[in-house]
Structure 1
Amino acid sequence: MPSVLILNGPNLNLLGQRQPEVYGSTTLDDIETACTTHADTLGLGVSFLQSNHEGVLIDAVHEAKGTYQGLIINAGAYTHTSIALMDAVASVEIPMVEVHLSNIHAREPFRHVSYLSKVAVGQICGFGAQGYLMALDALKERLVTS
């Protein structure tokens, strides 16, 4: 069964508490439960990691090679700052979908730049927690047709 690693970056452990007017009331645990259920219906395995530390996320991307067939990354603020995370994704050559709960293009100008989008097969933003399920659908389609 193909497997997908879902990585969440800084401050996403505070979902449901942090700025609910921007990020909603859904918690990261809620998202993981929904993703597990949806992945089961798609015939995908799924694993999760959240870290507030850039190096931990980079290590997880490196370790994904040979284990996972797809990546979903919500890198939080690292989206807009981490060339190192972008390089890590490029180096493992695993299809990656970038996810954001809010529409980063409708927010502050610094959020309009995504280093990850340069190495992603696609970007999903602005659909809240549903974006993760959309990313699973997109990766399943990508894995079936490749």
Structure 2
Amino acid sequence: MTASHRLMLLNGPNLNLLGTREPEVYGTATLADVEQLVAEVAGGLGYEVRALQSNHEGILIDAIHAAREDCAAILINPGGLTHTSVALRDALTGVSLPFAEVHISDVYARESFRQFSYLENVAAVRVVGKGIDGYAEAVRELVAQIGE
């Protein structure tokens, strides 16, 4: 598979706890369910997916840097780093790949500190508050934008 037909899926801190962490907020789907959904939707559009979850900002940044070598775009749920990480924003803008920002919960209906995103004004696609189905929507929108 060529880089033009590969997406990087990144999930940030605490998303490894999906399915058990605050199910009333995040639902009962697991990270494995998210990865499978993204792989199925992307596969149907002719893309393969490389997935990574990390609780460590530097590992996510390294993965973003590596994505420029073999991916057409990035799909990211940065978790709590959304609201705190200029470094993550700099990595995403620095690699010049289009990216989608996804949030399972409706961050605008939650605590005020969750309503700010360092990524929202540089993301090609942003999907918020649609549960894990938001990942599928983001894949479709992102693939449509990259035109393949």
Distance of 1:58 and 1:144 partners within structure 2: 25
Shift of 1:130: 0.3
Shift of 1:33: 1.0
Retained in 1: the 8 A contact 2:125–2:142? no
1:138 corresponding residue in structure 2: 141
Matched, 1:28 2:28: no
User: Partner of 1:72: helix, strand, or coil?
Assistant: strand
Matched, 1:125 2:125: no
Shift of 1:70: 0.6
Distance of 2:59 and 2:43 partners within structure 1: 27
Shift of 1:113: 0.5
Shift of 1:119: 1.8
Distance of 1:49 and 1:94 partners within structure 2: 17
Amino acid at match of 1:131: G
Distance of 1:130 and 1:100 partners within structure 2: 10
The CA deviation string for residues 40-73 of structure 1, in whole angstroms up to 9 with x for no partner, is 1111111100000000001111111121001011
Distance of 1:123 and 1:39 partners within structure 2: 17
Amino acid at match of 2:7: V
Amino acid at match of 1:17: T
Matched, 1:67 2:31: no
TM-score by length of 2: 0.95
Amino acid at match of 2:14: N
How many matched pairs? 145
Distance of 2:72 and 2:98 partners within structure 1: 7
1:96 corresponding residue in structure 2: 99
Distance of 1:59 and 1:118 partners within structure 2: 22
TM-score by length of 1: 0.96
